């Protein structure tokens, strides 16, 4: 009965998405991010001078509006290149490729920062659910689920020893 009530009120969507994102993606890629940044830095010593940015910056827009092209989302962001790929066999897919894009980001003081940035992709599912009649997911539901997704993911990552110091979650409205 509790499970049925939870499903009807859609309380478990964000929780499940956060765990899936962590177990199926972040737990795989985050431990490899620093090594990838090191390799890139050796080949391009002037670009990644600030080790503080040697982590994956994960954008969490609470609107769930995710752009495919970060440069179109913000003119202060410029794509530079991709970091080295990680190739693994996962869930029946041979040579599955994981990679991150490196961007130059201009801050309010006009200083350039180089870092790997991407959206939390499960937010696309929340956005799509709010636009699909079958899901019956309102804009308010979406906002609540986005907040719950962020809090759940933050809690999961805080407890993950292998991911410590490899990410920065950035929630915004």
> Which CATH number does the domain housing residue 136 bear?
3.40.50.12100
Q: Give me Rg for the CA atoms of the chain.
A: 17
**Would you list the DSSP string of 86-129?**
EEEEETTEEEEEE--EEEEEE-TTS-EEEEEEEE-THHHHHHHH
Report angle CA 4, 10, 14 to the nearest 5 degrees: 125
Question: What are the beta bridge partners of residue 58?
Answer: 118, 169
Q: Residue 3 — very low, low, confident or very high, per pLDDT cuts 50/70/90? A: very low
pTM, whole model, 2 decimals? 0.89
Report d(CA 145, CA 10) in Å as an integer.
Answer: 9
Count of domains observed in the chain: 1
Q: What's the pLDDT at 49? A: 66
Task: Quote the mean pLDDT of the chain.
Answer: 89
Q: Which of 34-38, 115-119, 168-172 has the lowest mean pLDDT?
A: 34-38
30: Cβ contacts below 8 Å, ≥ 6 apart:
56, 160, 162, 163, 166, 167
Report d(CA 102, CA 55) in Å as an integer.
Answer: 11
Query: Residue 44: is its pLDDT beyond 50?
Result: yes
Q: What's the pLDDT at 5? A: 45
Q: Which domain holds residue 77?
A: 1-171
Q: What is the pLDDT of residues 96-133, one digit of tens each?
A: 999 999 999 999 999 989 999 999 999 999 998 888 77
Q: Residue 2 — very low, low, confident or very high, per pLDDT cuts 50/70/90? A: very low
């Amino acid at each position: 009965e509790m499970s049925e009530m939870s499903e009807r009120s859609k309380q478990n969507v964000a929780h499940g998405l956060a765990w899936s994102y962590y177990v199926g993606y972040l737990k795989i890629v985050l431990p490899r991010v620093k090594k990838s940044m090191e390799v890139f830095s050796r080949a391009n010593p002037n670009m990644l001078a600030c080790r503080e940015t040697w982590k994956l910056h994960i954008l969490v827009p609470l609107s769930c509006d995710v752009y495919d092209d970060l440069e179109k989302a913000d003119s202060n962001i410029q794509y530079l290149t991709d970091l080295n790929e990680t190739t693994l066999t996962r869930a029946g897919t041979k040579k599955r490729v994981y990679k991150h894009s490196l961007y130059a980001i201009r801050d309010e003081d006009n200083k350039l920062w180089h870092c790997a940035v991407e959206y939390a992709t499960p937010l696309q599912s929340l956005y799509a659910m709010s636009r699909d009649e079958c899901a019956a997911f309102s804009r308010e539901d979406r906002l609540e689920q986005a907040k719950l997704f962020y809090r759940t993911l933050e809690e999961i990552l805080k407890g993950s020893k292998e991911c410590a110091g490899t990410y920065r979650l950035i929630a915004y409205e």
